[in-house]
Copies of this chain bind each other. A is one copy, B any other.
Amino acid sequence: MKVHIGPVAPPELTAAVVAAGAEIGPAAEASALVWYGGGPERFAELDHPGLEWVQLPSAGIETWVTAGALRDGITFTSAAGTYAQTVAEHTLGLMLAGARQLHAVSRADHWARPAGIRSLTGATVGIIGAGGIGRALMELLRPFGVRVLAVNHSGKPVDGAAWTCSADDASGVRRALAESDFVVVAAPATAETAKLIDADALSLMKSDAWLVNVARGSLVDTDALVAALDAESIGGAALDVADPEPLPAGHPLFQHPRAIISPHSANPKSLLIPALARRVEDNVRRRLAGESLLGVVDLTAGY
């Protein structure tokens, strides 16, 4: 099997393909493509009739869906699950920073204890979109003795959660929002999840609850969020993603007393490349052995 890596080929990915036992080749001769370093609008440059499998570098692939680039006849795999641990780690960091008001003290020029300090230990954590990141987060939360309310696509009970409901169960979702001290958004960006956290959803949250979004900016209505923060109707928001993204300089969320904005840095390149390399090596091995691939994209579901 010949594999092409492009439009950009980091040496770690080349090493992963070789370690798995495949050969690196030019795009036109490769039945497999490891995509890195460009958006879906450039896919046509490397696509060709002999292409059978494309490994995409991100967990969320909604830009490929929107661009209509996921053509029939090719198996696309996302990197879903690959970055779960590093994103979960970042998520816990955002939760604790919010709980402990570390954004406020980071901005201070004098010694003064901020208001609103709380504990994560024993808290109720709602996870909206309890997939790979949610499960990894639950592992990290285990020593805190939290109660997890999980919302997922199927409604199938999530191991370790106190309670699970389907995203289609509107009253269940409202309950998760209303009872949680921390609402973590980790669902894929689809037409169904656009502005899932709107003014109505925010109005259900506790007045000291924190919203943490590590999914995609489109899931949260930014203007409604700013209004809720200004009205102090929720405790705070910690966002690794935003809408629009990037947030324009000087946006009210930057340095907001109740907000922490990390610029899509849950999975920076320094952590992404080694994790992606492991997934590439694993999937190339599986392909060579005729086994099923990890992260196969469901074209109907859109993720």
Instruction: Considering the complex, give the chain B residue whose CB is closest to the CB of A262.
Output: B105
Q: Is the CB of B265 within 8 A of A110?
A: no
Q: Which of B108, B144, B266, B271 contacts A140 (CB 8 A)?
A: B144
Chain B hits for A114, CB < 8 A: 265
Interface bits A47-87 vs B (CB < 8 Å: 1, else 0): 00000000000000000000000000000000000000110
Chain B nearest CB from A30 CB (Å) reads 32
Contact A107 B105 (CB under 8 A): no
The answer to whether A94 and B85 have CB atoms under 8 Å apart is no
Number of copies: 2
Q: State A102–B110 Cα separation when bound (angstroms).
A: 19
Closest B residue, CB atoms, query A138: B143
A90 proximal to B (CB < 8 A): yes
- Specify which of B113, B120, B263 is in contact with A105 (CB 8 Å cutoff): B263
- Residues of chain B with a CB closer than 8 A to A102's CB: 93-94, 97, 102-103, 106, 260, 262
> What are the residues of chain B within 8 A of A139 when measuring CB–CB?
143
Having A105-B263, A142-B143, one finds 12 other A-B pairs with CB under 8 Å, namely: A86-B121, A89-B144, A93-B102, A94-B100, A94-B102, A96-B96, A96-B97, A100-B265, A101-B265, A106-B107, A108-B255, A113-B264
Contact between A121 and B89, CB atoms less than 8 A apart: yes
- Within 8 Å of chain B (Cβ to Cβ): is A11? no
In the assembled complex, which residues on chain B have CB atoms less than 8 Å from the CB atom of A113?
A: 263-265, 268
* In the complex, chain B residues whose CB is within 8 Å of the CB of A290: none
A8 at the interface (CB under 8 A from B): no
Contacting residue for A97 out of B93, B140, B144, B261, CB 8 A: B93
- Which of A151-159, A189-197, A242-250 lines the interface with chain B? A242-250
Partner of A254, one of B96, B109, B142, B247: B109
Q: Report whether A103 and B106 are in contact in the complex, using a CB–CB cutoff of 8 Å.
A: yes
List B contacts of A246 (CB < 8 A).
Answer: 110-111
Contact pattern, A 236-276, Cβ under 8 Å of B = 1, otherwise 0: 00000010011111100011000011111110101100000
